[in-house]
């Protein structure tokens, strides 16, 4: 059985029993934080969908207004002029389809991958390598595109992907503890709004089942669902 320390238990005593709005929860996170390092703030949302059915898969992207607080290394796989376009947009690594072999050998010095459609016949071979890491380029997330400059700029600006897991939970980081409250609220509102708009037409019953926010080490704070549903 997992045991919590005195600091965690002291923080837990401050967390109210009733659900909180985001406007109440975000300031509260700062009050119950006790870690000495900069923490990541996260939201976990349980949805009323069945991920085993393809038509109930909830997936999408959103550019957080104030970024994530971390800089992602972006690899662009392209050909011709698109290589120069990617370099100009600030991509950390730019390469042609030949980089596929390098990745297959174990090179993973990047946090996001953008590929042009004409390279996907080669990039597709990386499904078993990049898929489990959440790095496989996908048209639905805007990472398979000829507009590589825009894709790179969005990722660098704080674009995040959300995807429901096999337990119907979406778990996403939306900032750092060093952010001021307004930036954190702007980010998490943008994220919740995107999740609400991604509701599958086939989803029946209540879409939002529960939601919690927390920092890396703190207890979680339960959110008021009615206030989140209003962001649709």
Residue 212 sits in a domain of what CATH number? 3.30.190.20
Cα 229–chain centre separation: 20
Residue 182 lies in a domain: yes
What's the predicted TM-score (pTM) here? 0.83
Residue 130 lies in a domain: yes
Using the predicted structure, report yes or no on whether residue 69 has a pLDDT greater than 90.
no
- Residues 59 and 125 occupy one common structural domain: no
Q: What is the pLDDT of residue 231?
A: 87
pLDDT band at 2 (very low <50, low <70, confident <90, very high): low
Task: Give residue-wise pLDDT tens across range 104-145.
Answer: 999 999 999 999 999 999 999 999 999 999 899 999 889 999
How many CB atoms are closer than 10 A to CB 159?
21
- Angle, CA of 38, 185 and 29, to the nearest 5°: 45
Q: What is the pLDDT of residue 120?
A: 97
Domain that holds residue 91: 74-156
């Amino acid at each position: 059985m997992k045991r919590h320390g005195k600091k965690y238990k002291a923080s837990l005593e401050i967390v109210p029993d009733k659900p909180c709005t985001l406007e109440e929860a975000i300031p509260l996170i700062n009050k119950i934080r006790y870690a000495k390092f900069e923490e990541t703030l996260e939201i976990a949302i349980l949805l009323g969908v069945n991920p085993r059915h393809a038509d109930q898969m909830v997936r999408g992207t959103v550019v957080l207004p104030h970024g994530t607080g971390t800089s992602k290394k972006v690899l662009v796989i392209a050909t011709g002029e698109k290589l120069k376009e990617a370099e100009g947009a600030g991509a950390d690594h730019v390469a042609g389809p030949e980089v596929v072999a390098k990745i297959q050998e174990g090179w993973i010095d990047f946090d996001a991958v953008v590929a042009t459609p004409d390279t996907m016949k080669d990039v597709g071979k990386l499904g078993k390598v990049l898929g489990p890491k959440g790095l496989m380029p996908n048209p639905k997330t805007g990472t398979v595109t000829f507009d590589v400059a825009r894709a790179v700029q969005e990722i660098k600006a704080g674009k995040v992907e959300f995807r429901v897991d096999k337990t119907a939970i979406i778990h996403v980081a939306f900032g750092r503890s060093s952010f001021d409250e307004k930036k954190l609220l702007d980010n998490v509102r943008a994220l919740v709004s995107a999740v609400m708009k991604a509701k599958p037409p086939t989803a029946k019953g209540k879409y939002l089942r529960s939601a919690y926010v927390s920092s890396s080490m703190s207890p979680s704070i339960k959110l008021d669902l009615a206030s989140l549903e209003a962001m649709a």
